[in-house]
Amino acid sequence: MKPIYVLNGPNLNRLGKREPHIYGTTTLAEVEESCRAAAGEVPVVFRQTNSEEALINWVHEAIDEAAGVVINPAAFTFTSLALLDALKMVEAPVIELHISNIHKREQIYHRSYVSMRADAVIAGLGARGYPTAVRALLEMVG
């Protein structure tokens, strides 16, 4: 059984403390727990990095190893063509995830490079978006 990958970009290690009025008080450890619970017996590879290089390397790993990918690229969503190019190589389903509703935020957050590849986008559900994305991904991979 191939795992699902849940990949997280910069500053998400500060979840629960960083701007709780935008991102809530749920920690990344709690998010991971909710993803594993939503996945049931399907293995989950759950990672976070502040490095664009590491995130791209994990996407490369997922190309060969993952049943599907849930990715919250954080700021790299709006800046990284390299991440988009890596995601284009993923043949499995990809769900782009954002804790906040990026479309209600400042204009700089409205253009997602990742959306050019994502099969689905979840934004604005807070930390609840993660288990929702995991369940949706499991349905997509059937």
* Residues belonging to the active site: 23, 98
90 in Cβ contact with 24 (< 8 Å): no
Known binding residue 85? Answer is yes
Known binding residue 100? Answer is yes
Q: State how far Cα 23 lies from the chain centre.
A: 14
Place of tokens 């990284």: 80
Structure tokens at 124: 């604005």
- Cα 118 to Cα 19, 77, 101: the distances in Å are 26, 11, 16
Known binding residue 115? Answer is no
C-alpha distance across the termini of the chain, in Å: 12
**Helices 81-88 and 52-65, interaxial angle, to 10°?**
10
* Binding-site annotation, residues: 72, 85, 99-100
Q: Which residues sit in the known binding site for substrate?
A: 72, 85, 99-100
